[in-house]
Structure 1
Amino acid sequence: MTRVAVTGVTGYVGGRLVPELLAAGHQVRAVARRTHRLQGRPWADDVELAEADAGDLDQVRDALDGVDVAYYLIHSLGTGPRFAARDRRTALTFAQAAREAGVRRIVYLGGLYPEGKDLSPHLESRKEVGEILLASGVPTTVLRAAVIIGSGSASFEMMRYLTERLPVMTTPRWVDNRVQPIAIRDVLRYLVGSATMPADVNRSFDIGGPQVLRYRDMMQRYAAVAGLRPRVVLGVGALSPRLSSLWVSLVTPVPGPLARPLVESLVHEVVCDEHDIATYVPDPPEGLLGFDESVRLALQRIGEADVATRWSSASVPGAPSDPLPSDPDWAGGTLYRDERRTRVQAPADAVWQVLQAVGGERGWYSWSLAWRARGVLDRLWGGPGLRRGRRHPTRLTVDDAVDFWRVEEIVPGRMLRLRAEMRLPGLAWLELAVRPEADGSSTLRQLATFHPHGLPGQLYWAAVAPFHGVVFGGMQRGMRVAAERLVTSRTDVTGTGVSDPGGASS
């Protein structure tokens, strides 16, 4: 069993690498400056935790003691001279600590860059770090990648937001540069495989997917996979990286200090010069993942039951392309939320009876005229409207239709999740949940979630959001009143449910 240490475990690649290493049978030590940040990770109980400041030689040496392979996944991001100096010091410290601890191999993931060109500060620093580690005296594998495709990858998220939010865009000249993107799944394959390279291998490897594309082509292909109309991309000639990064920061939620190094890297054409990595880590039988399939994997969880929580509280991804809770808040695409909670002076079972009776003849517990108008508009746009009603007046099961919603998940007595089937420029869910309190009352939680589809989806949410206070606020108040009335009239409860749980909807 190979003993490996992984630094940068709170980052995008590191957090996904640990479970892959465990699955490959390695013994993993997760190294972090503050290990308490790793508590609650699905793999936390399966690894050894080591606390170390990357700039402290003694702490890093102790963290690497007894390790066969050390993964260096630490990067600074910035635009001034300090970040490059910090990268240099940290790499020198790690190299010395690995040598003194008797580490047999270092594995580093850096950036792909063209040889013989003046590089951006970001890529120049990545290049220098790789050279420091290769000169450490410890056999080192340096993997050099361009744009990594996967939900949470900063370069992928930038492309996602630009494409989704701008059906027509004016762009700088770098959108015509060639790029060789690679799926996060294949990046992880190469990282895991590098742990078992022969002792005499001490070099860098270019890693990329099977296709070389212009950046504008990547945006168009993303739009096609995401079901968006083709984008109109108009070049504006020369535009400095600084102005480009300001433009990206204005249009997307990617922070400016991160947008600039990403944009500066795209100023260069980043295409692999060799594929020697396959000598040591063979390509999978089905081949490396292409761009379209990589994007499809990054988006595939859209529409599944856990979408309503995937950006903030998902546990462990089903695949490397999936989001992680440790991903930054702006990663994963736009997800709008309207969450409301209220205390109900009724036990949880009474509230649950009210929740299960939602829709159909009993309505939605608020502003009935607005719900009817929305139903009529939906019919005019080709949707189901409110005409479907519901199969049973008081009981629901998964896949039941409830007006223009569909029951997606039920946790009996606790949670009901509905997926919208009305005509929308995006995907929407409504989650109703109840939690019992110690004093016999309950907390009613109502969460509306919307994943917009391109710019029309963004505009739709902006248009309807001002009415949520009336519609969703009124709905929550109506359900509270209905549950409290139910408590005072328990004689109205029959064996099939509540005789009038929707009495507050008129």
Structure 2
Amino acid sequence: MRSLVTGATGYIGGRLAPRLLDAGHSVRCLARDARRLRDAPWADRVEIVQGDLTAPETLPAAMEGVDVAYFLVHSLGRSDFEEVDRVAAANFAAAARAAGVRRIVYLGGPEPAPGDRPSPHLRSRAEVARILLESGVPTAVLRAPVIIGSGSASFEMLRHLTERLPVMVTPRWVHNRIQPIAVRDVLRYLIGAADLPAEVNRGFDIGGADVLTFLEMMRRYARVAGLPRRFILPVRVLSPWLSAHWVGLVTPVPNAIARPLVASLVHEAVAHENDLAQLLPGPEPLGFDESVRLALGKIRDADVETRWTSASGRDAAAEPLPSDPDWSGGSVYVDERFRPVAAPADRLWRVIEGIGGENGWYSFPLAWSVRGWLDRLAGGVGLRRGRRDRHHLRVGEALDWWRVEEMVPGSLLRLRAEMRVPGRAWLEMRAEPDGSGGSVYRQRAVFLPRGLGGHLYWASVLPFHGIVFNGMARNITRTAETESLRGGAGEAVTHR
């Protein structure tokens, strides 16, 4: 079966394309700029056609020979998103009909209850659904509420609000009922909809196993994420407009996206039928807690170097992708330094592997000592563990308040912090040849905050980073250059 995926650079499309391939589909992706897909790990397995849904002359080539066409684009974030999506849907429908496409599949939003005045976002989604259902091509419209997965704008709002605010004043809509669904289940329904009988031309409600209020979702998110109980006080004075600005202030989700999403939360989003699940038998949809665990799995547990892959063995659909927007995937604070070194990479590596213990940390010894004492007072390990061997390390061993998480001899040392901090922290050091007999030293500190305390902790130590981390990079490279001049016969210089 040949499938066309529009929106392949977006949240759902970027996850659907590789799963269609795994299901045996031949996949063609339509993109306004084909270069945006070149770094996708599955790009060499799909056909990429450059085109624009608002430019109808570009669509016949995309639709040629297609059996199933997925409409997964929206212009949320633009002030004229309703008009743009209306034109895109009409062009898409006409091109699909002319090309003899067998089925259209569209992922839309929930239908407001009769008598409700829909938000512009939901009104636009309903209009697109109507255009596609009236196209003359059998169409399946999947009406999804909040989608749980890293990168979903609704989930990112939930994540950041809950993690950053232990006490919240919230609008009344936090009591509205929602039936959130895991992105894994959304993708399963999208793939299955391609095989629906030809006579099926209708909308379907889809949802997860739990019906919750937004307030309950925040509290259960906090519990799954290991955060203290959140205290939430609903009030009557926050209009959707004020709520959207409040969300924009507290979270990194852009205001242009937050506004229409928050306006949609004034409507309940609960499935009124379960017909698609009956037509597409499969596993039961996940509950909210398990969906959140999957979404947080990579952020919480994986090593920082492979956070864009599914090294943890969890469901990669729920985890971040490189194509996701910068504001998705949770907060990650990074301090990066690099310096050219007038010494070979093997000399630089000797200094890197010898760090810690009696050799010290090459920067501001008093600051490291004070931090170690504070850690011990808080019940942590401090700096008392030292190191097993003065010159050599191995994966898994303790190194002061760090643990050697990964090591590639001669090039990479990654340490995971075991000190008491409100989050998780890594320190990574690399030695890279520069091609001319010298080398480059790269240093990266990564911190994943846990709750508001984690964000405040990073802000409190940020003023010292220029002293500690810059001094560390400077002194490591100087030591490598000094040892290189001495012929490397001596031991590493002690920098306690």
TM-score, length of structure 2 as denominator length: 0.97
- Distance across 2 between alignment mates of 1:454 and 1:72: 37
Match of 2:281, as an amino acid? P
Cα distance in 1 for partners of 2:152, 2:306 equals: 19
Q: 2:167–2:230: 8 Å Cα contact kept in structure 1?
A: yes
1:87 Cα deviation from its structure 2 partner: 1.0
Partner deviation per Cα, 1:233-270 (whole Å, 9 max, x = no partner): 01111422111100001111110000001101101011
Q: Within 5 A, what are the aligned runs for 1:13-162?
A: 13-78=12-77, 80=79, 82-116=80-114, 117-162=116-161
CA distance in 2, matches of 1:375, 1:334: 26
Structure-2 separation of matches of 1:424 and 1:40 = 35
Q: Does 1:471 align with 2:468?
A: yes
8 A contact 1:308–1:449 mirrored in 2: no
SS at match of 1:61: helix
Could you tell me the percent identity over the aligned residues?
A: 60
Distance in 1 (CA, whole Å) between partners of 2:338 and 2:413 is 15
Residue 387 of structure 1: SS of its match in structure 2?
A: coil
TM-score computed with the length of structure 1 as normaliser: 0.95
Residue deviations 1:379-400, cap 9 Å, x none?
A: 1111111111111111111111
Q: Deviations over 1:1-37 (max 9, x none)?
A: x110000000000000011101111110011111111
Residues 60-92 of structure 1 show CA distances to partners (whole Å, capped at 9, x for unaligned) of 122011000000001111474x32111111100
Q: Does 1:404 align with 2:395?
A: no
SS of 1:502's partner is: coil
SS at the partner of 1:455? helix
What secondary structure is seen at the aligned counterpart in 2 of 1:141?
A: strand
Question: Displaced runs of 4+ in structure 1, greater than 3 A?
Answer: 303-306, 308-314
Q: What is the correspondence of 1:430-441 to structure 2 with a 5 Å cutoff?
A: 430-441=427-438
User: Are the aligned partners of 1:359 and 1:403 in contact in 2 as well (CA < 8 Å)?
Assistant: yes
* Deviations, residues 91-130 of structure 1 (Å, cap 9, x unaligned): 0000000000110000000001223121001100000100
What amino acid sits opposite 1:97 in the alignment? A
After TM superposition, the structure 1 = structure 2 runs for residues 177-256 of structure 1, keeping only pairs within 5 Å, are 177-256=176-255
Change (3 A) 1:208 1:312: closer
Aligned counterparts of 2:300 and 2:242: Cα–Cα separation in 1: 36
* CA deviation after TM superposition for structure 1 residue 490, in Å: 1.9
Once the two structures are overlaid, the 10-residue window that deviates more, 364-373 or 143-152, is 364-373
Q: Residue 387 of structure 2 corresponds to which residue in structure 1? A: 390
Q: Which one-letter code corresponds to 1:490 in the other structure?
A: G
User: Which residue does the alignment assign to 2:453?
Assistant: 456
Q: CA deviation at 1:137?
A: 0.3
> Is the CA contact (8 Å cut-off) linking 1:417 and 1:432 kept in structure 2?
yes
State the distance in 1 between where 2:473 and 2:429 align.
9
Change (3 A) 1:454 1:8: same
- C-alpha deviation, 1:225, in angstroms: 0.5
Give the corresponding residue for 1:422: 419
3-state secondary structure, aligned to 1:90 = helix
Residue 489 of structure 1, CA deviation: 1.5
* Matches of 1:17 and 1:221, distance apart in 2: 28
Q: Distance in 1 between matches of 2:389 and 2:172?
A: 60
Deviation at 1:58, TM superposition (A): 2.4
Measured after TM superposition, the shift of residue 304 of structure 1 is 3.6
In the comparison of the two structures, how many residue pairs are matched? 494
SS in structure 1 of the partner of residue 316 of structure 2: coil
1:500 aligns with 2:476: no
CA deviations on 1:115-148 (whole Å, 9 max, x unpaired) are: 3121001100000100110000000000000100
> 1:271 Cα deviation (Å)?
0.5
Q: How far apart are the structure 1 equivalents of 2:421 and 2:184?
A: 32
For structure 2, the residue ranges without an aligned partner over 5 or more in a row are: none
Equivalent AA in structure 2 for residue 273 of structure 1:
H
Question: For the Cα contact (< 8 Å) 2:85–2:124, is it kept in 1?
Answer: yes
